[in-house]
Structure 1
């Protein structure tokens, strides 16, 4: 006599004899009701999946006929392992679990319909049939849960691996690796190269919010950059195709995020954009208000402050003729000379800028010509003066 919670051996054997037929019908109905599997189940693949279904059902029948003292997980362990791998395969093929879950529902219905009919013909009692139904659907739930776990694990694994590849690509870009190496790294990371990349430097705490509105291909580095102001770590983003008309949109999206934005460069030359934002941060250039610091609008400062010591020497030499004057006189002449150079000698424009009478400008320029002599007509000397007066050193009042 069989246990009340198990299927009699004779009934189980009858159902086991029907397994190839049940597996075939299951695959056929899945193809009809889950169209996304139509191609996957065709030909040899369909035979392979049919065999897997038959194996799973065979494991289920072993479970259904096992005595209460047996380990209930033993008969279905291979089926659960196969379901787990099936879920991983779905993730690798880029499919969600929706289709597979639908296939499980179809499989449960077909298996129950056909196997229960065979069981009834073989003499299964109503009580045992009810127990059989519970086992069928509990078994399908276990298979489904195993596939979900496999799908999630594969996504997590492939996601981590791809993220490492993307981070490696970002590092290579910032260090100026050869184009061939960059192309290989981009292919390995499954990353479609853009036309250009723009480096953006911003506080680590602002990165997540910024990424929401940026191109999905945006790369980020894992190596933090120390903020010279001592306000925490900075991170580098490499934003694709943010040049031309797209640049204003990038700047707007970074409003309020304390960002420094470099120039757009061909993607294999992104190191140049990164060097620009790094230099801006090192020099202490700061944005105005909440807008990001656009290095394209601060090129003069970047050029002039490229070598602070050299600029100081140049300034000292260029302004040497004024060294013997008093502070007030020197300040007024420097102010006038700067305006005269910027306005290319247009006296009225200089007077308007300085809020003085044109005759005052004429008088001051006369003093300057006496001090500088022919040097105010020498292009090289004029260039040195333009550079020397382009940045106002702290404490000079000039």
Structure 2
């Protein structure tokens, strides 16, 4: 039976350096999948390990359902084996001398589940992950993707309150990774288990998560639906990390609510969306995705002329490097044809709802 997870003011400090987790709070509803997304060293795996009980938090509270499983200030630290959680690691962690069925049944044997009940639960778990016909095979005869399904079935067979997944697809080749990624959400949702999934891959986060928590330097920068993360990034780092690789520096000329005008260093004026309030006269950086730019189109707002510096043909899409605003931007266009060639001029439009202005002229690209 799935349960709600509550993490309040979680902090983890190792012996040296900055905190690995710095006052992180979030809630995962029963049956919800939350993905922790961020670069290496951001604190996402440490957060997962604290929830599992594999790391001891410095401070804060972790609760699963009605049980407080970690509260250092009160001397509470429930051992991992008593938390009733399932965990799937990067490595498959299967027992090579056992069959598929024996691997999946092992947790039930440890819990002294009656034989008939155990068989029914194993059959159900194998059916859910699509391995029923492989039950009696040696686990070493399976592909990497199938072994990871065995690990998933083993973590689900005893109906944990919480499922934790630490980059479970990272050891698979590209094709297997895509196939299992698409199946994982269906499997987790079918079992209705509460889940936390850790990854640095934005595509995985969007496919799997009901909500995504973007982390950096031990902080939770934004926790929202995939749609909100991609269309309303809270700060420049979140925008950059989720693909808004173009940046234009300038100064706020006027602002009204969540929109305003930014004058670039070249003197051009851009209407942009302001995720947070920025005062007129303040420096600002506009971030936007390569695919947001419309080529060969002119509107009344945010239309300019750019020069094509380079283009890279990828078959179903072309990536253009354009010179504009005194610098360069990258534009991605879905097409099987190259429409514009180096040396030519091209009209462009930058939809203001996809141009996000953030305070300051600092770049975040080099920091992830």
Tell me, yes or no, whether TM beats 0.5.
no
Instruction: Tell me the TM-score normalized by structure 2.
Output: 0.25
Instruction: Decide which structure has greater strand share.
Output: 2
Instruction: Decide which structure has greater helix share.
Output: 1
**Higher radius of gyration, 1 or 2:** 1
Instruction: Tell me the TM-score normalized by structure 1.
Output: 0.24
